[in-house]
Amino acid sequence: MMNIESMLNSRAAQIPPSGIRKFFDIVASRKDAISLGVGEPDFVTPWHIRDAGIYSLERGHTYYTSNAGMLQLRQSVANYLSRRFHLSYDPNGEILITVGGSEAIDLAVRSLIGPGDEVLVPQPSFVCYSPCVTLAGGTPVPIVTKEEDEFRLTADALRSAITPKTKLLVFPFPNNPTGGIMEKEHLLEIAEVLKDTDILVLSDEIYAELTYGAQHVSIASLPGMQERTILVSGFSKAYAMTGWRLGYACGPKPVIGLMTKIHQYAIMSTPTTSQYAAIEALDHGDEDIALMREEYNHRRRLMVEGFRNMGLSCFEPKGAFYVFPSIKETGLSSTEFAEKLLDEENVAVVPGDAFGKSGEGFIRCSYAYSVKNITEALSRIERFVKRHLK
């Protein structure tokens, strides 16, 4: 009989499964667990955006669009990025519409990285960067970001990770899971390090609209940076549109061109309905974002306060919708903490080491939940922590 296992692509087969996925399988067996585990907004997509998608179906817009995405949508992306973040991109050739930010990340890595190339990945961070690099044949090189640096990438840490093989820096800010952000003064330090190198930047700005206090600054908006930056973003987090699977990449024409070629072979074009909805979101959605941001901010403060009252150290997140409290005081590992918490109090959180080894000693709790859900979860976690605090 044929041995299917031996026929699998070894590079793909050897990639470890996502730590989030692993824990999901444990939690899925519980019926009534309260969860702080999700990575998506609890809001439903605002009605006027859903309506635009429905209307496009009524009108019979059910065909492929151009590979790069509808020109009108690319134009709206360009207008939006200029209005919100002072960026200037040409809708013809510098913008590609993708299936979520995730596809854009994969395409960017595949377009730039091959065997022998090193990619710097600040961690803790979202789970997809290193596997994408490995699949492309490159080598992911983690850079640890620390709580004492407010989970920022520092110029020193960057400098000491660079080798002659370094080709790309993944730049995941605002950060999932830590909530760390990079403000302009810190971006300037990073730009200074990169300026005399040939290193490109893959800036994942999917949480750009969800910052609390300081307005997000794109690293691409700094002098000399746009030419070496591939900006990746999408509609999921800002407009509560995760299920529509739509994102985009912006960058230098040669890179976007190559990404578009791969996209054309792998995907053809993104869902047409989603593209129509996205135009409505970009053109008329600023107010929705402001409302949701305010809600998240209320909940963010409740969570931080809740964890600090338990006697845990909790970095105040400045972006995204997660808190990343340290659970080192309990003497438990992240996974032990998460599993015991589920067993004893039926609350699901994600172990910090799912986001890289340096996430060990932390847990990720999402505040994309109702205040009621958050308060109940916090009081259960508090009971749990009291029992286990050393």
Partner 1 sequence: MHKILKILEKNSHLSAREIAVMLDMDVKEVEAQIAKMEEEGIIVGYQTLVDWDKAETERVTAFIELRVTPQRGEGFDKIAERIYQYDQVKTVWLMSGSFDIGLICEGKSMKEVALFVAEKLAPMPSVISTGTHFVLKTYKQSGVIFDKPQKDERSVIS
- Size, binding site for partner 1 by CB under 8 A: 23
- Check binding of 35 to partner 1 (CB under 8 A): yes
Binding residues for partner 1 restricted to 330-359, rule: CB under 8 A: 348, 350
Please pick, from the candidates 159, 261, 298, 387, the single residue that binds partner 1 as defined by CB under 8 A: 298
3-state secondary structure of 154: coil
| C-alpha to C-alpha distance for 333 and 251, rounded to whole angstroms | 40
Crossing angle of the two packed helices 334-345 and 371-388, in degrees rounded to 10: 110
Q: Which is nearer to partner 1, 137 or 243 (CB)?
A: 243
42 binds partner 1 (CB under 8 A): yes
Residue 38 is a binding residue for partner 1 (CB under 8 A): yes
Question: Taking CB under 8 A as the rule, does residue 263 contact partner 1?
Answer: no
Using the contact rule CB under 8 A, the part of the chain among 30-38, 104-112, 179-187, 251-259 near partner 1 is: 30-38
Q: In whole angstroms, what is the distance from residue 61 CA to residue 80 CA? A: 24
In whole angstroms, the minimum distance from the beta carbon of 231 to partner 1 comes to 24
49 binds partner 1 (CB under 8 A): no
Residue selected from 8, 13, 15, 44 as contacting partner 1 according to rule CB under 8 A: 44
| 20 contributes a contact to partner 1 by CB under 8 A | yes
If one counts every other C-beta atom within 10 angstroms of the C-beta of residue 318, the result is 24
Question: Which of residues 192, 305, 343, 344 is near partner 1 by CB under 8 A?
Answer: 305
- Burial class of residue 324, CB neighbours in 10 A (0-12, 13-18, 19+): buried
Residues 109, 136 contacting (CB under 8 angstroms): yes
Question: In this structure, are residues 352 and 334 in contact, taking their beta carbons and an 8 Å threshold?
Answer: yes
Mind giving me the DSSP string for 76-142? HHHHHHHHHH-----TTTSEEEESHHHHHHHHHHHHH--TT-EEEEEES--TTHHHHHHHTT-EEEE
Q: Of the two residues 27 and 230, which places its CB atom closer to partner 1 in the complex?
A: 27
Q: State the Cα–Cα distance between residues 257 and 68, nearest whole angstrom.
A: 9
Using CB under 8 A as the binding rule, whether residue 293 contacts partner 1 is answered as no
| Nearest distance in Å: CB 290, partner 1 | 13
Q: Does 316 bind partner 1 (CB under 8 A)?
A: no
Q: Which residues bind partner 1 (CB under 8 A)?
A: 20, 23-24, 27-28, 30, 33, 35, 37-40, 42, 44, 298-299, 301-302, 305, 348, 350, 371, 375
